[in-house]
Structures are given as C-alpha cells and as structure tokens.
Structure 1
Amino acid sequence: MSNFRELPYCMEAEQALIGVILLNPIRINEMLKNFIADCFYVEQHKIIYKKIIDISKNGELNVVSVIDSLQKDKQLDFCEGADYLYHLMRSVIATANIKVYMNVIYDNYILRKLIEHGNDAIELAHNTLGKNVNSIIEENISNLQNLKNNIDVTTDLIDDLNEVISLMASDTIKNNTITTGYHSLDRLGCFVKGELSVIGARPSMGKTAFVLNVCHQIMKHSSIIFFSLEMSKTQLLIRMLSNVSQVKKDTIEKSTYSENDFDKFTDAIELLKKYNDNLIIRDGKMLSISEITSTITSVNLDRIKNKKPLIDMIVIDYFSLLATDPQLMKQPEAMQLAENSKKLAKISKEMNLSVVLVAQLNRNCEARVNKKPMSSDLKGCGQLEQDADVVMLLYREDYYHKNEDGYEDNNHLDIFVEKNRNRKTGGAKLYFDMDTQSISNIFHDTKDFSYDKVGDK
C-alpha cells in the first residue's frame, strides 16, 4: 500500500495571485520581488513568476511583455500558451485580495518545507553518518528556527503590501466602506474594511438586535461571518426572520401564525435564501482568536476555489466571551482582554476585513444622572478603546423610563459614534420595534440628529 500523499498547495490561489500581478503590475512588483518563485508549487506558475520578476527589474511589465519573453525562451507552450495568462487575468475576483492569495500560497509553501525537513529528519535518524544524537537534534532545531524566521520576514512583507495597495487606490476609504442603509451611519463611514469597529452598550439596549439588522442590510451586497458566543444559530435565525418578516418573535417561536403572518414569514425565508451565501453563522462557547482566524481562512479558501467574493466583514458577539490565550490564563483579566483586542485589530488590517466587535459596558453609566454612555465605559479594557478605529455606543431612553407613570415609549435607538478615526464623529437615531427586533431609519436624509454628550448642558 502506497504512503504517497500530494504535497499541500492551492491551485486557485496561485492562479489568482499571478492574475492580480498581470492586471496591476505598477508598484506591486516592487513588493513581490522577495516572494520567491518556490512559493509556487505548480511548475508553470514558477516559470511565469520568474519572468514577471525579471521583466519588472529590466523593462515594462505587462501581460504582452511576459508572453513575449516566454515565447523567446520557448517556454510559452509549456506554460499553457498566451490564452492561459489572459484566463488568469479574467478570473481575478478583486485585486485588493492579493494579500489573501499570498498568505494561502505562502502557508502551503511553509507546510511543504516542513514536510521536507521532517523527511530529512527521518532519513538522518535512520542514517546518522556517525553524528551523535544531540547534534542531530540541534541540526533539526536549527532548520525549524530558520523556517520560523522566514515566516516572520514574509509577514512583514505582507504588512508592507497593505500600504502599497492603499497607495494604489484612488479613494481607499470610500472603496472599502460597507454601507448599511442607515443613512446617518453610512455618511460617517462606521464599517470600513481594514478597521475594528466596537459596538458597546449595557444589557438590554439592543446590541445583538442592532448587529443582526446591520447584517441583514449588508448581506445584500457583501459577505459576512457572524461569530456568536452567546446565542445559538437557531436563536439568531429566529430573530432575523422576525425582523425581516415583521412577524413577532413570540409568534414564530410558538408557530401561532395568522394567514397574513405566515405569508410574510415564508416570504422572509425566501428572501434570506436568496442571500444565503453572504451570511455564515458560527456559534459556540469560548471561541478563541486562532479558531476565528482559522475559520476565516478556511471560508476564504473555499470561496477562492468557487470563484466567489471573499469575506468583507466578521461580527463577534461578544468580546468578553472570547477564549483567552492559555499562556495568559494567570494574568489579570484586563491583560487577557487587551491581548484579544490587539489581535482583532491586527486581523482587520492583515485580512482586510471590517471586524465588528460587540462589547459590554460597565456599570458606571448606571450611577450617573445622565445615563448616556461614554467610550470609557467599555468593560474591563482601556486597550479596546485605543485599538478601535470606530466606537459606537447604543442607548435607549425607553429602557430607563419604562416604569414611570405617564411615560410613552418613543421606540428610539440612539447610536453615539464617539470615535471615528480620521473621520467625523456624530450619531444616528433609529426606530427600534421591540416586538420584531427590527431597526429602521427615522430620518430619510443624511443629517445627523442633535444629541447631547455626557456632561453637556
């Protein structure tokens, strides 16, 4: 029985990376010169990539010059001909995804090198060539350390690549902004790929309802992974069906539909099915950052293979339920939370995602006469406020007056954008239907509502 296993590689990522370079040769080739040809597994891709690097050093890089050079060296036919290069260019989903392709290709390259070192270690263990055991161990450790150092260097390269892509974009923020349909929020640009957006509120303010409504709006044009650490997938889908159908959640849970309700419910199911590929829900207690990263990579790899757009946004509900790095378990809670905060900010940049993090606020606002929240109320972690590009705080006046005689609910959800890096702060006032958990615009223009911050008179 053969023990042969195919070495790890991703054909789709290799094809996509070459296609992106051929589509956008200006400046990108300056960064890729350190991304060696051996990172590619397919021999034809190695040859094409070497040509790209050679031409970028000595002449004008474009698909015609690459084809011409391959033709002169009698390598074009082996590389599947000119049509193959044009096919690679036509198959590109988005040039901004170049770092995702690089990560996938490089990860597979490192895995192949690890297998190679493992095989060398096995061979050396069987044929010691007179070396003692300690020197054999040290040699293998040295090989693995060199491999680790290479990983660190390439990570720096990919960080630099983000800056190059930003320089190439004519209006990076505008192109990366994800719209929600909530006019005041969209004008401020609260959800941007490459940024960490924190949504903070006290219990019962509507945090989960708000992010579910945002997901419902966004999934019509963008792709999302929703990581739920508190509610099950079934609970979330019931809530979403309620706000899409405008049928009360209690009615759906008990299946006590009127004929009209049932029609609206079935229409909502069909609508959500239409955008099924654009919303992925992962539930589970105590998910770790590494598990979240692995899920994003796995989903993106599958989408590359199926020629689908990559993930634009992840939502994590909520922050303090994330698992802690085992090495930090004995450290204070604030330090554990700070480490998770820094990792999530890094993920947003490296994976070009809008990372939306739902967070609990501490009790400080409950002790104030003015109950409106502040960024400093974010629970247990000043680092989170520092790492966030955007901080949105939710507030419902109805919650604090619900037991007062004569008070009439206004069904308003106030959103205070207390931090908005490099952009204006402001706010939004939305309509919140408690029965269906649906959230909608009140104002139909792009004006901010006027609101008083804590401490204002």
Structure 2
Amino acid sequence: ERGDVADKIDKTKELLGNLDTGRKEDIRQVKAIMPDAVDQMDRGDKGLPTGFGRLDFRLCGLHPGDYVLIAARPSIGKTSLAMSMAAKMVSAGNGVLFVSLEMTALQLVKRLICSQARVNMHSARQGKMVMSDEELNDLMFAGNKMQDWPLYISQSSMLTPAELARQVRTQRRIRKIDCVIVDYIQLMHVPGKNENRQQEITTISRQLKSLAIAEEIPFVVLSQLSRNVEYRQDKRPQLSDLRESGSLEQDADVVMFLYREDYYKKDEKDYELTNIAELIIRKNRQGDTGMIELMFHPEYVSFEELQKGYENWV
C-alpha cells in the first residue's frame, strides 16, 4: 500500500514536471509566418552545423525542434560519434549540453582529449611511463585548447524526462545552449508503474520530442538497437529494428544508423580492417536519405569524414 502511494506521488510529480515545460502557445496566421519562410528559402535553410560536411549537406544542419536519433548496436561507436559531433560544434562556438547516462564526465573528457591530441587512448591510460614526451605535450596542448569550449556535461543516472527538462531550462537560463545530446534513451525512465518497457520508451521519446519543440533547439538522442540485427546476413540496421523500441521511428525527424563492417568481420581469417564506418540516414522528414562514409579511429575513439568536399557548407 505504501508502495502504491509512492507510485502515485511519483506520477503526480512527473505530470507536474511535464506541465512545466515552458511551452508557449503559438498560433499565427500564415501571412505572419510567410516572411520568415520566404527569407529562409532565399538564404538557404541552414541550421546548426554538425561539423560533418556531407551530413550537413543532406540535413541542411540541425534545426530548432529537431529530434535526431542515432542508433546502433553496442560497441559500434555511438558515444564516440556523438562526442566527435559535439567537439566540432563547440569548437565552432556553439554551446552543447551533453547528457551522459552511461559514462562519467571524467571518462568522456579523457576520451575527448585523446581524440583532439590524436594520442592512443590505451597509452594515455598507462600514463607517462608509456607515453612519449611528444604525446604528453600533445595531450597538454589539446587540454588547454578545450578549456574554454562551451561544452557542458551532465553526468546522470536513471534520468526522467521531467528532470532533463529542468536541467535544460536551468542551463539555458545561464548559458548559451544550441544543442542537447542524450546518451542514451534506453537508460532514461519514467517514475511509477508502466505497462511494459516498450510503452515506457514511447513515453520518454514523445516527451523528448515535445521538449525539443518547446525549447526550440535540436536534440540528438542516441539509442541502442536490439540484437535482432545480429540474426541477419546483412547487419546494416533497418527502421524495422526500432519497432520494439516504442515510437522512436515515428517521433524522430531524422533517424540515422551507425554501422561498421569491421566490427562483424574482424575475426575472419582473410579480412583486412578498413576502419570505415557507415552513417546510414534511413529517415529524414525534411530531405533525402542515404549513406555517408566516415573514418573511425579506434586508437583514440573518434570519427572524421572519409570524403571531403563539403567543408564550406556553412
């Protein structure tokens, strides 16, 4: 009985949190919106650059209210890709709130320093007894360069959408936040009893989409894929792989899957590692789908573009 009362209290708090999203009713006649629409089409509808030129060309950047989903199987590199994206954004002066539910802030920053310095992550963990003086200097230089980056890391566990909403609103009152990255959605929860985990993910997903719209900034949300992918010959993820995860496919404006052939074939006798990753755009509400090749650097866990040509997209 006491547990039921606690559940009701949690649900009431969650409901109140959802009501307090800062949403403002915005009903306007078409003619009031027309000047902005025409101006955007004239200038080009360029949103916040991710720093990956070919991706930005396809998406026209990230836009206010966008709910962008990046999904993959474990150990493919979701967090590394998200951190690479965040680094490119903040180095261009854009503020990013990185909400980590899986790794500590210290772990993320150490990864980031190694990727910027291009120093082997394993060597860095061993310390100065293993690293050369040049590597130590590179790490120090990278760390100094990053100190003033507008990157803010929230180290959270068992976060609810209402708690995330409070974090985002608080940070936006005191800092310039242009994008929120959440790593990853399956580690969030809603209080109280839920019918099943699929329904809980549906609730979380819809509240994240509502929050992105209310705050008028893009949300990049990472998602884990089920092991159903492993049972197919072609292990490139499909939109159908999200169907067990509630309404993610329906809610997202953009759905991208990260895939690395190396991960699946590394133990085959005659296979040569390529370090090539595929970022597969399966859904794009405002544009084209397709695939972008990235270079994965496992030694310092980061991604960069394999093909150049759109560096001047912005």
Fold equivalence (TM over 0.5)? yes
1:330 CA displacement = 3.4
Q: Which amino acid aligns with 1:208?
A: T
Compared with structure 1, are the counterparts of its residues 228 and 379 closer, same or farther at alpha carbon in structure 2 (3 Å cutoff)?
Answer: farther
User: What is the aligned partner in structure 1 of residue 237 from structure 2?
Assistant: 373
- Alignment of 1:160 onto 2:30: no
Contact 1:179-1:218 at 8 Å conserved across structures: yes
SS in 2 for 1:316: strand
More strand by percentage:
2
> Normalization by structure 2: what TM-score?
0.85
Residue 294 of structure 1 is aligned with which of 141, 150, 166?
Answer: 166
Compared with structure 1, are the counterparts of its residues 192 and 181 closer, same or farther at alpha carbon in structure 2 (3 Å cutoff)?
Answer: same
Q: Deviations over 1:100-155 (max 9, x none)?
A: xxxxxxxxxxxxxxxxxxxxxxxxxxxxxxxxxxxxxxxxxxxxxxxx9xx89x94
User: What is the aligned partner in structure 1 of residue 40 from structure 2?
Assistant: 171
Q: Which amino acid aligns with 1:266?
A: M
Q: Which amino acid aligns with 2:85?
A: V
SS in 1 for 2:299: coil
User: What is the aligned partner in structure 1 of residue 148 from structure 2?
Assistant: 274
Q: Which amino acid aligns with 1:384?
A: L
Where relative contact order (Cα < 8 A, 6+ residues apart) is larger, the structure is: 2
Q: State the identity as a percent.
A: 28
- Alignment of 1:186 onto 2:56: yes
Runs of 4+ in 1 over 4 A off after TM superposition: 161-168, 172-176
Structure number with larger C-alpha Rg: 1
Q: Which amino acid aligns with 1:218?
A: M
Residue 409 of structure 1 is aligned with which of 273, 293, 302?
Answer: 273
Compared with structure 1, are the counterparts of its residues 162 and 342 closer, same or farther at alpha carbon in structure 2 (3 Å cutoff)?
Answer: farther
Structure 1 Cα separation of the partners of residues 146 and 80 of structure 2: 17
Q: Which runs of 5+ in 2 are unaligned?
A: 1-15
User: What is the aligned partner in structure 2 of residue 116 from structure 1?
Assistant: none
User: What is the aligned partner in structure 1 of residue 180 from structure 2?
Assistant: 314
Contact 1:341-1:383 at 8 Å conserved across structures: yes
User: What is the aligned partner in structure 1 of residue 206 from structure 2?
Assistant: 342
Q: Which amino acid aligns with 1:320?
A: Q
Q: Which amino acid aligns with 1:249?
A: M
More helix by percentage:
1
User: What is the aligned partner in structure 1 of residue 10 from structure 2?
Assistant: none
Q: Which amino acid aligns with 1:438?
A: S
Structure 2 Cα separation of the partners of residues 321 and 163 of structure 1: 40
User: What is the aligned partner in structure 1 of residue 190 from structure 2?
Assistant: 324
1:160 CA displacement = 3.0
Compared with structure 1, are the counterparts of its residues 235 and 360 closer, same or farther at alpha carbon in structure 2 (3 Å cutoff)?
Answer: same
User: What is the aligned partner in structure 1 of residue 77 from structure 2?
Assistant: 206
> Normalization by structure 1: what TM-score?
0.59
Contact 1:359-1:378 at 8 Å conserved across structures: no
1:410 CA displacement = 0.4
Q: Which runs of 5+ in 1 are unaligned?
A: 1-147, 304-309, 448-457
User: What is the aligned partner in structure 2 of residue 219 from structure 1?
Assistant: 90
Structure 2 Cα separation of the partners of residues 183 and 435 of structure 1: 23
Contact 1:361-1:379 at 8 Å conserved across structures: no
RMSD: 2.4
1:394 CA displacement = 0.4
Residue 261 of structure 2 is aligned with which of 379, 397, 403?
Answer: 397
Aligned length: 286
